[in-house]
Copies of this chain bind each other. A is one copy, B any other.
Amino acid sequence: MSERTVPDLLTRPSAGRAASMPLMGREGEPTVFELSSPGRKAWSFRETGLPEWAPEDLVPAEHLAGAPPALPEMSERDLVAHMSRLSSRNYSVDHGAYPLGSCTMKYNPKLCDAVAAMPALAHCHPAQPDDQIQGWLALLADLERILCEVTGTAAATLQPAAGAQGELTGLLLMRAWHESRGRTPTKVLIPDSAHGTNPASAAMAGYEAVEVPSDGRGLVDLDALRRLVSDDVAGLMLTNPNTVGLFEVDIEPIAAALHAADGLLYYDGANLNAILGAVRPGDMGFDIVHLNLHKTFATPHGGGGPGAGPVAVSERLAPFLPGPLPRPVPGEEGRYRWEMPERSIGRIHGWHGNALVLARAYAYILFHGGEGLAEIARTAVLNARYLKERLRGTYDFPYDGPCMHEFVASSAGIKRKSGAKALDLAKRLIEEGFHPPTMYFPLIVDEALMVEPTETESPQTVEALAQALLAVAAEAEADGGAAARAAPRTTPVGRVDEAAAARQLRLTWSG
């Protein structure tokens, strides 16, 4: 038999080869474009019995594309293999602890997945008339009521798609309220420890963001705040517990200072986990609260979304809420309709918000009930407090008040002794089987590691995390940070050079 040559067509990357699956090996996974083969297909469509008009009969020549977009051409099997392998190259809450501070990566109940998959929830058109969507309206109305109870407020909009959109909504409400009173203050006060979305949202709402310094306790510097408060201040955005995990114990005088100057208090409630059933923003004097349902209420984060960022407000701000809102039909027990608040700032979302995320959060709340929510807070704080105390002596706590659901440690001392940065310790922790904590946030702490174990991690997991954090620190001091700087060595890729990637931008695949 003569020598036969292998056709070129066949020596392209193979979608069946699994060398990129960490179970098997450490190679890279080709892109869908490399796995594409001209003419291959996964799709099939329903038989309709309709006339088969040609493209030219359906689309005017000036609009008709010469060829469809250059998408990959794959078999369903290859697509499944590719995406399944990609999934195996990704960490998740389902696979282990994820103690990212400020992110509340708790267990995402499968129960809520089942709810979001209910066909009679998942297949309603958002423009269906009220009488066809009474289930949805009742659900949203009850969720609104519950979120108001949790936050000590009067009414809420469920439209914002995430926390940041909630912030913008809240600030526009603030603006509308001031305008309704003939005022146009231009500044919003924001602590230096605040999440970056706070100043960014203020800017988008047309406000100047003015930084409020923290004091030695890591709390709002009350004197500085008092000096900053003026007629030109629309309000203060505050997180409490704040982003160093501490409760702003001066909240009463803080609120008084703002209110005295006709300023409003905005509560960044992205992370309510510590205060559920224990403290309510409304009771502390806040007028506006946004909540991240994808944190406190365990709707999964999806690798970066979707979330939901409802905004709840006190009585005096309710007339300005975005709409429409689900409201009871007077005289018809149990029936609801969409209503636009009288002085509404308008719409925030193209429809009604991330409805299926809202349904998940609602199921989560029904499951726990009022007392269950309080138990969450107590346990979340217990885990954080225990973990923090276990790290004492090895990590520093520049702001050492009693922490709530999370705490910020500094590894500056370790860095001095070993050269290992927070980043190095974080990467080394991966090799110990843990996702790293949040690094370098908040900005006011040097070599910050922000740790939030959440309530769904067992005491054994919290202890194991403590041991791992202590071990990597001890190792760094012993070896001058060598192992930490080389980490992670157990992952499909090693330390990624983020700076180089930003310099040499490659944002699409181009062969």
Instruction: Give chain A's interface residues, CB within 8 Å of chain B.
Output: 1, 4, 6, 9-27, 37, 40, 75-78, 80-81, 84-85, 88-92, 94-97, 106-107, 109-110, 389-390, 392, 430-435, 456-465, 468, 490-492
Contact = CB atoms under 8 A, between A and B. Distances in A.
- Interface class of chain A by DSSP: loop
Given A84-B94, A107-B80, A461 B23 contact: no
Best-buried of A20, A37, A462, A463 by chain B (most CB within 10 Å): A463
30 contacts: A11-B463, A14-B458, A14-B460, A14-B463, A14-B465, A15-B458, A15-B460, A16-B461, A16-B464, A17-B432, A19-B432, A21-B91, A21-B96, A22-B23, A23-B91, A24-B430, A25-B433, A27-B433, A75-B458, A76-B107, A77-B107, A77-B457, A77-B458, A80-B107, A80-B110, A81-B96, A81-B97, A84-B94, A85-B95, A85-B96
Contact of A460 (B13, B88, B110, B390): B13
A86 to B, nearest CB: 10
A446 to B, nearest CB: 24
Given A85-B95, A433-B25, A461 B14 contact: yes
A431 B25 contact: yes
Contacts of A461: 14-17
Copies in the complex: 2
A95 B110 CA distance: 23
Given A14-B458, A37-B458, A81-B96, 8 more contacts: A14-B97, A16-B465, A17-B97, A18-B95, A25-B432, A25-B490, A77-B457, A84-B94
A75 B456 contact: yes
